[in-house]
Amino acid sequence: MTAHPRRTIIADANVLINLMHVNRLALCSNLPGCTFVVPDHVVEEITNGDQKAKLDDALARGIFHIVAIKTIDTITLFAELTTYVGRGEAACLALAVERNWIVASDEKRRFRREAVNRIGSGRIIGTRDLYVLAIQAGLITVEEADADKGILEQLRFKMDFKSFQDLVIK
């Protein structure tokens, strides 16, 4: 059996917060072939006490690793991106460009256009995609994912499908 290369996924605050709402941050540590990182700018954006505690715990447990922008080219791109998207989103996208990473973000509009233009749509995933990966890996059932979907929708995060069953490849 051939080993698959590890994919690094850089997570934006909106995906992290969605997973926090349903206590699913640990899913990220178990997704096969995936390593999750969080830019220091995103860590700074999470200021709600409960959410900050959950993120700090996930960082301490090694579910996520903090990364920082260090190269001149990435700093330059980050500065450019912050003129039209938030600092966390800009950090995610700048680092994804530099390091060929996948971005986990549910942002739409300008961020999505910039991300597609700079890294391609195949390197952008969102909360729903993480759930599909988790279901396919046997980490969560469709029923559990649908229950979480219901909670997230009560919190105003709408997903445009009825059930995760509709998305899971059989």
Mean pLDDT to the nearest integer, 156-165: 92
- What's 74's domain CATH number? 3.40.50.1010
Q: Per the confidence metrics, is the pTM higher than 0.75?
A: yes
> Do the domain assignments include residue 1?
no
> Do the domain assignments include residue 13?
yes
Reported as a pLDDT band with limits 50, 70 and 90, residue 68 is very high
Residues in Cβ contact with 117 at an 8 Å cutoff, skipping those fewer than 6 apart: none
> Do the domain assignments include residue 99?
yes
pLDDT per residue over 84-127, tens digit each? Answer: 999 999 999 999 999 999 999 999 899 999 999 999 999 999 99
- Structurally, the chain folds into a number of domains equal to 1
What is the three-class DSSP state of 61? coil
Containing domain of residue 31, as a range?
A: 7-166
> Do the domain assignments include residue 109?
yes
Residues in Cβ contact with 42 at an 8 Å cutoff, skipping those fewer than 6 apart: 11, 12, 13, 16, 88, 91, 92
Distances (CA, A) of 67 to 11, 24, 46, 83: 11, 21, 15, 21
> Do the domain assignments include residue 2?
no
pLDDT per residue over 32-47, tens digit each? Answer: 999 999 999 999 999 9
